[in-house]
Amino acid sequence: MPDCIIFDLDTTLAKSKQPIDAAMAHTLAALLTKARVAVASGGKCDQLQTQVADRLPPHAPLERLYLLPTSGAALYVYENGVWKQVYEEALSQDEANTIERAMHQANEQVHVIDFSEPAYGERIEFRGAEVSLSVLGQKAPIEAKQKWDPGRTKREALRAALAPLLPNYEVRIGGTTTIDVTKKGIDKAYGVHRLAEYLSIPIAHMLYVGDELRPGGNDEVVIATGIPTHAVTDPDDTKQFIESLLKHA
């Protein structure tokens, strides 16, 4: 059993922006009694709390759960009944405004978004340490998101147009309809390093589990840290993997 297991969230622990189901909650609670667990996502901290922490059974040891929101740009731990921020690589409002203008400029080149059409909530969200562009809106239904860019070509085109406009930032594909921007060098790999430092454990004693570890996937960056990895296809696959770990714990 690794000392700490870091899980991607969307399509790894749960469907996109959906809470974990009861079976996953039970399985994660069991895992927390055997190892420390972290969740890494492009979402904000309150989103990770709603999707994961708040869904765990009352007996789950939340002090062994660590949240890495905004793609590793922040770390939160549970102490004395509240979530406490350990660090956050925050962007300024001026930086967020610059990034938002660049997103519109990039779209003018590739024309994959019609900003005049209604969206499911905000399209561009400032998350403190990250600016996230969700093409269909932050609250788009899963079915619509899955149909928008199944071949990944629209997101790749948008990212390729945006990256040269923001050379001092990290620009990457997030979820099924999302482009995320953080400070340069701030990504899930950064989050892995900071968590290992905070816990005082070697990265080699950790494990990263995600559905996007393939080349170009949003989990791929962690591989360069040297952390052992395990690729999954969906939450059911993840649950089966956790259960296999628990059998040998």
- Are 30 and 76 within one domain? yes
Residues 128-137: pLDDT tens digits?
A: 999 999 999 9
Domain boundary among 135, 150, 183: 183
83 shares its domain with 97: no
Strand, coil or helix: 205 = helix
Are 193 and 79 contained in the same domain? yes
Q: In which domain, by residue range, is 107 found?
A: 93-183
> Residues 214-223: contacts with CB within 8 Å, 24+ apart?
216/152, 216/156, 216/173, 218/8, 218/42, 218/71, 218/172, 218/173, 218/174, 218/175, 218/188, 219/8, 219/188, 221/172, 221/187, 221/188, 221/189, 222/6, 222/188, 222/189, 222/192
Q: Can you give the pLDDT at residue 111?
A: 95
- Considering the domain architecture, whether residues 76 and 190 belong to the same structural domain is answered as yes
Supply the DSSP symbol for 244.
Answer: H
pTM greater than 0.85 (yes/no):
yes
116 with 151, same domain: the answer is yes
CATH number of the domain within which 97 lies: 3.30.1240.20
Q: What pLDDT shows up at residue 17?
A: 83
Q: Name which of 200, 248, 247, 206 is nearest 229 in CA terms.
A: 206
230 and 168 in one domain? Answer: no
Are 149 and 120 members of one domain? yes
- Report residues of the chain scoring pLDDT below 50: none
pLDDT at residue number 104: 97
- 177, 102: one domain: yes
Domain count, the chain: 2
Q: What is the pLDDT of residue 20?
A: 97
Give how far the C-alpha of residue 162 lies from the chain's centroid of Cα atoms, to the nearest Å. Answer: 20
Convert the pLDDT of each residue in 45-60 to its tens digit.
999 999 999 999 999 9
